[in-house]
């Protein structure tokens, strides 16, 4: 008799190649219309499934996990960040959690570098003028921006993505500075030609461009508060491809409107998909709809990691990308 396949519930539409591989290996319930699951649908999923495959759009909190059935043993997250999952509640219910690290590093770093270029050079603003039909031709003083060569870049969070950003930025002649929970080994600093700042406040006050690359945790919620944002020089730019909650978005909007910060490039927002309407009115910002990891290659690589994590776990071994579940 063939061994019974684990029941896997997938909360969003994944790339076809990923879903096909899942269908070959597991008993899978797919989300064909790609609409976010309702709370009732998520409750039904955790009641009946062996494995749940959520995305960042799903709130996997203690109230939901209280409904977990005896079969529910693994949350195989499709994504790197797990701030939408209550890890303490998962631990309480003996549910392991995995994620998909590493595969999005280069894609997110590419998008960060694109914003670092786009904001000082006013690329989005110029594109809007051209499309509006208001461009009257070249002029010596029109649409002037700032060169980034020779400027100081301060990276908040020098993990995999932060280091990938630093490598790209060096190629554009930026001076690399960083603030991190722990200082890196001198070999890493030497490779990146990076200067470490133990004090985030001191770094913010001296940089021309700030790149936010730290995860969202309770410790980093509003890490860039209004007080800290006011430390930035009036010509400084801020780029965020991490999580919107790291920045006090209302305070950032006020400072941008007042001209106290030079500009911003944002791929994430504090209350996404909602965006502060006053932020939408500003010309000195580039706003993107969470596209940092949006490549065909990256999304397929994410799915392949999910498959490996599920297969390894259900075969009785430790999955390679455990966030929670050392004892399983």
CATH number of 7-102+296-324: 3.40.50.720
- Residue 3, pLDDT score: 73
pLDDT tens digits, residue range 222-266? 999 999 999 999 999 999 999 999 999 999 999 999 999 999 999
Give dist(CA 318, CA 159) in Å, integer: 24
- Residue 319, pLDDT score: 96
pLDDT tens digits, residue range 15-58? 999 999 999 999 999 999 999 999 999 999 999 999 999 999 99
Confidence band for 328, pLDDT divided at 50, 70 and 90 = very low
Give dist(CA 31, CA 10) in Å, integer: 6
The reply to whether omega before 190 is within 30° of 0 (cis) is no
Question: Which runs of consecutive H residues, i.e. helices, occur in the chain?
Answer: 16-25, 39-48, 62-65, 87-92, 105-118, 123-132, 160-171, 186-192, 200-204, 226-229, 249-258, 277-280, 296-314
Confidence band for 2, pLDDT divided at 50, 70 and 90 = low
Q: CATH 3.40.50.720: which residues of the chain?
A: 7-102+296-324, 105-287
Does the domain at 105-287 match CATH 3.10.20.310? Answer given as: no
Confidence band for 325, pLDDT divided at 50, 70 and 90 = low
């Amino acid at each position: 008799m063939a061994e019974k396949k684990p029941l896997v519930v997938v909360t969003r539409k994944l790339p076809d190649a990923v879903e096909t591989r899942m269908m070959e290996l597991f008993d899978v319930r797919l989300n064909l219309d790609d609409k976010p699951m309702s709370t009732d649908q998520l409750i039904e999923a955790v009641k009946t499934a062996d494995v749940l495959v959520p995305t960042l759009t799903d709130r996997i909190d203690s109230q939901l996990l209280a409904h977990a059935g005896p079969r529910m043993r693994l949350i195989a997250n499709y994504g790197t960040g797990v701030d939408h999952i209550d890890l303490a509640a998962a631990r309480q219910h003996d549910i392991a959690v995995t994620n998909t690290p590493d595969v999005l590093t280069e894609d997110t770093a590419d998008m960060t570098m694109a914003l670092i270029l786009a904001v000082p050079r006013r690329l989005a603003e110029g594109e809007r003028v051209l499309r509006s039909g208001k461009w009257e031709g070249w002029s010596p003083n029109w649409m002037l921006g700032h060169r980034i060569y020779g400027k100081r870049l301060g990276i908040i969070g020098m993990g995999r993505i932060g280091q990938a950003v630093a490598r790209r930025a060096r190629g554009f002649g930026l001076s690399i500075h960083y603030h991190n929970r722990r200082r890196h080994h001198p070999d890493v600093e030497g490779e990146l030609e990076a200067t470490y700042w133990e004090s985030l406040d001191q770094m913010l006050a001296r940089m021309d461009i700030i790149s936010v690359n730290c995860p969202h945790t309770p410790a980093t919620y509003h890490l860039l508060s209004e007080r800290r944002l006011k430390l930035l020089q009036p010509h400084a730019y801020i780029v965020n491809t991490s999580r919107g909650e790291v920045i006090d978005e209302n305070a950032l909007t006020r400072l941008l409107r007042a001209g106290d910060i030079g500009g911003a490039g944002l791929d994430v927002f504090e209350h996404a998909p909602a965006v502060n309407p006053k932020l939408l009115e500003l010309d000195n910002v580039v706003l993107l709809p969470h596209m940092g990891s949006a490549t065909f290659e990256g999304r397929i690589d994410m799915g392949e990691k999910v498959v490996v994590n599920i297969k390894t776990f259900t075969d009785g071994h430790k999955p390679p990308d455990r966030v929670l579940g050392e004892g399983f």
